[in-house]
Chains A and B, each alone.
Chain A
């Protein structure tokens, strides 16, 4: 069963790359494409955790999911900064 799950996880990772490209084409936003890719990577990590995982695979899945949360939070923060009037503004060229 573990071999099937590993194969499924790899397949989902590949699908995620293509879906992220499609999302970028749809929205023309790197942020949205990255969010889609992270969703698919989470699904792949969940598949890897099913079955009979070893300590190594558990730690790797936890690291991927933590990284995903970190990136997602930073993306959310950057978009909030762009939409909030008092937030950080893009740097203007020096005069």
Chain B
């Protein structure tokens, strides 16, 4: 009865009530788990690295701008916008890691934790995206609006 084409067929026959368990070992679960674990680590490390680099870059820019003096608020907003973009990019990587993690779902507790983290990241991604859009609109508005002329000065 059992097909000889399939490898790894385990058959156990007990009289007429034959119970046949078919398990095709194309990719062992442990190998899949290891491969996904490695990929998740790589992707999450990339996300964390992007966030770290963005924070350090923004720090350097803020300190440089602060040392140069006041009155350059447009530059300040631009640095904040760039930091937000770094954070969103890092979050996207971390969300990709979450999606990969769902390929292997070992226990209910881990699924719950994964859902909580993914919800936090998704909500944060949404709010950061909105903030970036607002900042960008503010910068564009300040660039298109001509600076006010000083009163009393000869033209």
Instruction: List the interface of chain A (C-beta within 8 A of B).
Output: 1, 5, 8, 12, 15-16, 18-19, 21-23, 25-28, 32, 35-36, 39-40, 42-44, 46-47, 49-51, 53, 55, 58, 61-62, 65, 69, 72
Contacts and interface: CB of A to CB of B under 8 A. Distances in A.
B55 A23 contact: no
Nearest to A35: B80
B87 A43 contact: yes
B133 to A, nearest CB: 14
Contacts of B123: 65
Contacts of B117: 49, 53, 58
Question: Which secondary structure characterizes the binding site on chain A?
Answer: helix
A49 B120 CA distance: 10
A22 B116 contact: no
Interface of B: 41, 44-45, 47-48, 51-52, 54-56, 58-59, 62-63, 65-67, 69-70, 72-73, 76, 80, 83-84, 87, 90-91, 94, 113, 116-117, 120-121, 123-124, 127-128, 131
B144 to A, nearest CB: 18
Given A12-B52, A40-B55, A58 B80 contact: no
A8 B52 CA distance: 7
B127 A39 contact: no
A31 to B, nearest CB: 12
A27 B52 contact: no
